[in-house]
Chains A and B, each alone.
Chain A
Amino acid sequence: MHAGTEQLDGIFQALADPTRRAILTRLGGGPTAVGELAKPFDMALPSFMKHIAALEQSGLIRTAKSGRVRTCTLEPSTFALVDGWLNAQRRIWTGRTDRLEAFVTKDSK
């Protein structure tokens, strides 16, 4: 999987802030309402919403409003872009192992 440099820059910038990293870690436990997410942070809601907006813009999370409650959810495909190079190597080596296995067992079948 390849990500454009610009998109990666946006992701890294979003991750460069400790508040936003804390939000993401929290969301690792599952989708959470903005009000609930904001509780541990000592900041005004508008400031907190800016962090949420930055995360959403980077693609790391998505949000959805239901009634008066906005819920945030991690977007795994964006993390896959960051996480991509090692997973890509894993796919390559898993493929190699599959082919090696097929190669050395083909005579015995």
Chain B
Amino acid sequence: MNRSFDPERDLSIERFIRAPRAAVWNAWTNPRQFEQWWVPEPARCRAVRFEAIPGGPLVTEISEDGAAFAPHMDACFLIVEPQRRLIFTDALLGGFRPAPSSFITAEITLDEAEGGTQYTAHVMHSDRATRDKHAELGFHDGWGTVIGQLAKFVEAPTS
């Protein structure tokens, strides 16, 4: 797939994980395992509907106190290549039904590596609110350039 990386809206996380690829795959595709790492403690996650097949739902709820659960994510798996790659988006609900609003598409890739798994998460955002805000204020190319340059500055270690 020919896909570009947009530094203003995308992020990519790469990590070598010292565990077999099957273990990482199971953690991503088995809802009982997925629930155990998806949100930070003390919050708790519940995979309400979760089926890692194309068109399968990825619906989670979150609880800050372990008692009352609130909707967290309502997404749909698009591509599921066992042990290798999965893509999901909240632009669609389970069964490929269009969602009223959307924020992300994420691609998770697992590669066999010496002694473990090379893990990559590529996350693309719609950033609609920010984009609309810019259009409203009449921003053009200058905005992106400045923020791009300044982001580099800000991300550099500062004293």
A residues with a Cβ closer than 8 A to B are 12-13, 15-16, 18, 21, 24-25, 28, 74, 76, 79-80, 82-83, 85-86, 89-90, 93-97, 99-105, 108
Pick the contact of A99 from B37, B133, B154 — CB < 8 Å? B37
A-B contact list, 20 entries, CB within 8 Å: A15-B146, A21-B142, A79-B150, A83-B154, A85-B130, A89-B11, A89-B125, A90-B11, A90-B13, A93-B13, A94-B13, A96-B37, A100-B37, A100-B119, A103-B27, A104-B17, A104-B19, A105-B17, A105-B19, A108-B18
Chain A binding surface, main DSSP class: helix
**Residue in contact with B143 in the complex, picked from A15, A80, A86, CB distance below 8 Å:** A15
* Contacts A28-B150, A79-B151 given; does A86 touch B137 at CB 8 Å: no
Q: CB distance A83 to B151 under 8 Å?
A: yes
Q: Which of B9-50 contact A (CB under 8 A)?
A: 9, 11, 13, 15, 17-19, 23-24, 27-28, 33, 36-38, 40
Check B38 against A96 for contact (C-beta < 8 Å).
yes
Q: Known pairs A18-B142, A79-B151, A96-B38; list 6 more (Cβ under 8 Å).
A: A12-B133, A28-B153, A85-B127, A86-B11, A100-B28, A100-B37
* Complex contacts, A13 vs chain B, CB 8 Å: 137
Measured between alpha carbons, how far is A24 from B143 in the docked complex, in Å? 11
Q: B134 — which chain A residues lie within 8 A by C-beta? A: 12
Q: How far is the CB of A2 from chain B (nearest CB, A)?
A: 13
Contacts of A108 in B (CB 8 A): 18-19
Q: Measured between alpha carbons, how far is A96 from B15 in the docked complex, in Å? A: 11
- The reply to whether A24 and B150 contact each other, CB–CB distance below 8 Å, is yes
Q: Which of B37, B125, B130, B133 contacts A103 (CB 8 A)?
A: B37
Would you call B36 and A103 a contact (CB within 8 A)?
A: yes
Known A21-B146, A80-B154; contact A95-B40, beta-carbon cutoff 8 A: yes
Q: Which residues of the partner chain B approach A12 to less than 8 Å between Cβ atoms?
A: 133-134, 137
Establish whether residues B15 and A97, one from each chain, have CB atoms under 8 Å apart when the complex forms.
Answer: yes
